[in-house]
A = this chain, B = another copy of it.
Amino acid sequence: MSKFTRSDFEIENLGPAEFTSPLQSLRHEARADFISDDKHRVLFDHSLEKIQATMENGAEPVTIERSGPREKLFFKPSQTICAVVTCGGLCPGLNDVIRGLVMTLNYSYGVRTIYGIPYGYEGFIDRYGHSIRNLTPDFVSNLHTDGGSVLGSSRGPQSKKEMVDKLVQLKVNVLFVIGGDGTLRGAQEIVAEVSSRNLKISVIGIPKTIDNDLEYMDKSFGFETAFAEAVRAVRCAHSEAKGYPNGVGLVKLMGRDSGFIAAFAAIADNSVNYVLIPEVPFNLEGKNGLLKCLENRLSGRGHAVVVVAEGAGQHLMQNDPSAKDASGNAKFGDIGPFLKKQIETHFKAIGKEINIKYIDPSYVIRSVPASPQDAIYCLRLAQNAVHAAMAGKTNMVVGRWHGHHVNLPISVVTVRRRKVSPQGDLWLTVLEATGQPAEFK
């Protein structure tokens, strides 16, 4: 973490904020300070050793700007026009974020015009023929009981020029972008284009990744709902495994690069015996390989549950390295059926009859409505996105770090993906809870 300097966390501003916030009276009455860019910063690294080392070197420890309402606004609310777009894969909480943005813009600031851009970045481009809609409190009031995104989504980039043309045409002052890595890089391009045209349009991201793989954020919205839903599949696998002689329940869960969903779902139910994630390579063969472990487990206990993240074990399959999906990511081999086949073949070879049941909840875990805990998180992210936008900040995302809501430059969060550390707390909890070996070999 030490590579960053304070300037890496500097948030861009469109210009001086001169309008008085309508939250003035509320905060005055509550005797609460507005949040200041400088005074209320949060430590980036809170290991005392590192802080001491930094200070001994005469440097100041790196800190991050806190989110929250600012005393002065860059945009005059009554004249501000906003737009919201959701991109990439569905994720629990998308509708809660949309609802939170509209409610906060409308009721806290008095913004009256909020456009919903349909089907992701496609919605900016006329030739796709999607219709832009007005987002009102009435329209969004009941969204949160529904999964998905009421705006629709799509994958892949669009021309930054055309997108900014549309923003200009609609007279948009603030664009809220809800999406993942690729989407945020698209947002950076919009910022660049906006900037090159000397426009004053704020671009604020609310980072979305069901895999919880965002660096420098405590958690991503929707993740808790998603893994809780995944637990249902794991419980089912456990029932199936116990339900038959030598029963094996095999569950594939989302997680291309990071195994958070698999790890959390496994320890939440605590009935899983083997968890396989992209961060921890494993072998099928060998005296401590997965197949041998499974063999021993079945001999001893008569059933087993295996959870595998979709990105795990890719080295075991022969994939076409040049294949890409719609978002431009490498196309993965399907580890679920592959593993099922390998297990079946192994036990056939040793003459032991097993009952293997393969479960792939796939999209179900991402289409459910957000849990109450996630709903609150979405609301607070949305509120903070609005606060940042109205203050004229741009090229940033809202996040949470060590329990504090913070504003982070897009450039910081897209550097790399967060992964489960094989030496970290979480994975060691998994190892202890499952009893699986640290290495299958």
Contacts and interface: CB of A to CB of B under 8 A. Distances in A.
A415 interface: no
Nearest to A280: B30
A148 B423 contact: no
A149 B241 CA distance: 11
A11 interface: no
Nearest to A432: B108
A341 interface: no
A61 B55 CA distance: 13
A30 B23 CA distance: 51
A173 interface: no
A309 to B, nearest CB: 17
A340 to B, nearest CB: 12
Contact of A433 (B33, B371, B379, B405): B379
Contact of A429 (B154, B269, B380, B423): B380
Contacts of A368: 232, 236
A99 interface: yes
A144 B26 contact: no
A278 to B, nearest CB: 16
Interface in A206-263: 218, 224, 227-228, 231-233, 235-240, 242-245, 247
Contact of A145 (B52, B60, B146, B425): B146
A27 B245 CA distance: 33
Given A46-B402, A244-B152, A402-B403, A361 B363 contact: no
B376 A245 contact: no
A117 to B, nearest CB: 13
Interface in A52-72: 52, 55, 60-61, 63, 68-69
A174 B278 CA distance: 39
Contacts of A231: 372
B236 A363 contact: yes
A154 B246 CA distance: 10
A228 B152 contact: no
In the complex, which of the residues A23, A42, A43 has the most CB atoms of chain B within 10 Å of its own CB atom?
Answer: A43
A375 B269 contact: yes
Contacts of A224: 372-373
A51 interface: yes
A240 B361 CA distance: 14
Interface string A127-167: 01010000000000010111111001110000000000000
Contacts of A235: 147, 367
Given A26-B438, A29-B438, A147-B239, A244 B427 contact: no
A359 interface: yes
A189 interface: no
22 contacts: A27-B428, A29-B438, A30-B422, A30-B423, A32-B424, A41-B48, A52-B55, A90-B239, A103-B433, A142-B142, A145-B146, A146-B239, A147-B236, A148-B238, A154-B244, A232-B364, A265-B372, A268-B372, A270-B379, A359-B364, A379-B429, A405-B425
6 closest pairs, A vs B, by CB? A148-B239, A236-B367, A268-B372, A30-B438, A29-B438, A239-B367
Interface of A: 23, 26-27, 29-33, 41-43, 46-48, 51-52, 55, 60-61, 63, 68-69, 90, 99-100, 103-104, 107-108, 119, 122, 128, 130, 142, 144-149, 152-154, 218, 224, 227-228, 231-233, 235-240, 242-245, 247, 264-265, 267-270, 357-364, 367-368, 371-373, 375-376, 379-380, 383, 402-403, 405, 422-425, 427-429, 431-433, 435, 437-439
